[in-house]
Amino acid sequence: MAVTIRPAAEQVESWVDQFVPEKDLFFMDDSMLEELDAYLDGVLITPQKEFSAHSTYSQIQMNNSYMYWTLSKQATSVIVAPPEWLEQLPGQERRTLLFNQCRMGKGMIFPIGLFPSEEGIPDDHIVEVEEGTFVVIRKGMWKGLPHPVKALAIQAYARMWDKWEAAKVPEETPVHIRKYANRFTAIPGSNCFAAALYAVTEQEWMIHEWIHPGTLMNGLRRAGYSPAKGDLMQGDVITYVDQAGEIQHAAYHIGNHMIFNKNGQTFFNPWKIVSLEELNVEWAQYQVRIHRKS
């Protein structure tokens, strides 16, 4: 039976506050930089290679907000700027810069339909491209939007990540999993591996971590888990593995083919109960491996 899930009011407040980073990032190719050369005093121009290895800009919420994984390979540099820099650019240069952010294929660009109205949105932040009309989000404009507009827009955006439906929490669900099942988080970074390892260990702090596959496997071994064959059993961890043998996803089997799962590392991805069938469809391109406590 499907149930509707929603973020709590305090979680929405956290999303509004955290989603847009304090510094503006603009992803550039060489021609864009040349066009803006007269206006680049007072900003940092960071080569893409240095940017990718930078400890500040690789933080999880920066990654989630700007969606680095969608970035065009044409981006050779990144402008790092305080919010007031964009507002000080001449109108035409500002419009061109924001238009080019759509071309660079990065995050923090919302379809205009996510906003309840255009109230408070600066005209030059509204960009029309072949795919539709979008709003380029930056700190200065976000700060200037009415709070109800931001709250509605961020929730509409969150629903692009998840449909806000889950299975009913089974009666046999352990208490520590029940605490998080079908709920959202206000903390970015928690991913599927963290959810699975928390379900196994009951170490609550772990559910908020950003865990990698090797760490997951170390945790499972320490908890007495090992690879298993046959049908899925209660308490098993199910993993989905690519052709190179890398684990791409993991989840915990509560029983009766109902799964405790988290898709992704953003705070828009809830912890929720899904059926094994739904999970297998979503990760169908990968090989299933089961891990069981001895």
Same domain (yes/no): 116, 180 = no
The three-class DSSP label of residue 197 is helix
In CATH, what number is assigned to the domain containing residue 226?
3.90.1720.10
Q: Same domain, yes or no, for 128 and 18?
A: yes
Q: Could you tell me the residue range of the domain that residue 194 belongs to?
A: 165-293
Last residue of a domain, one of 139, 161, 183: 161
Kindly report, residue by residue over 187-227, the tens digit of the pLDDT.
Answer: 889 999 999 999 999 999 999 999 999 999 999 999 999 99
What is the percent of the chain where pLDDT is above 90? 90
pTM: 0.91
- Same-domain check for residues 132 and 32: yes
Q: 63-109 pLDDT, tens per residue?
A: 999 999 988 999 999 999 999 999 999 999 999 999 999 988 878 99
| Ramachandran class of 293: left when φ > 0, alpha when ψ lies in -120 to 50, beta otherwise | beta
